[in-house]
Amino acid sequence: MPPTPKPASQRQRRNKSATASTLRAVPDAVVPDLPPRVKTVGEKDDLEPLEVEVPWHAMTVAWWQDIWTSPMAPEFLDSDVHGLYVLAALVDQFWREPSTAAAAEIRLQRQCFGLTPVDRRRLEWHVEQAEQAVEKTTARRNRKTSTSGKDPRDALSVVS
């Protein structure tokens, strides 16, 4: 006869995930500014170096906006912003001079922030879908109207 299994409270492995979370979109997300970048120009013996601000590539700015308005943004801590700045610089470099080396480094760096479906699955993050949100809103509104006075069962009648 096989031994009886241990009670659930005494089992060593419970397979609980510390990172499991359902991510919801934040409608009024605050998008931090990309940091200014400076390039030094005119470094010769007779000229004083001149610092010129380098604008971010338009695709990098769009990517940055998408990151901070995504459902993953609330999961980012203040300390994560510095890593995202590094990733933004890599993305900008890729859009200015595309290379497989830049693409590979971007792929490695973005894993840390759950920016792809595979990364979210690894972190056990589930993005709440729009249909689910609409269904929850509809159900919540129906609960409010059903408790507002009339009994919904009054509409029922006996059919012979």
**Residue found by looking up tokens 């991510």 in the block:** 23
Provide, rounded to the nearest whole percent, the portion of the chain with pLDDT above 70.
86
User: Does any domain span residue 144?
Assistant: no
* pLDDT at position 43 over 70: no
User: Does any domain span residue 7?
Assistant: no
User: Does any domain span residue 111?
Assistant: yes
Contacts of residue 119, Cβ cutoff 8 Å, sequence gap at least 6: 110, 111, 113
User: Does any domain span residue 16?
Assistant: no
Model's pTM, two decimal places?
A: 0.66
User: Does any domain span residue 68?
Assistant: yes
Number of structural domains (the chain) is: 1
pLDDT in tens, 92-147: 999 999 999 999 999 999 988 988 889 888 888 888 776 666 677 777 777 766 55
**Residue found by looking up tokens 């990098």 in the block:** 60
Domain with 56, as residue range(s), is: 22-127
Contact in structure between 84 and 76 (CB atoms under 8 Å):
yes
User: Does any domain span residue 133?
Assistant: no
Residues 39-55, mean pLDDT to the nearest whole number? 78
User: Does any domain span residue 5?
Assistant: no
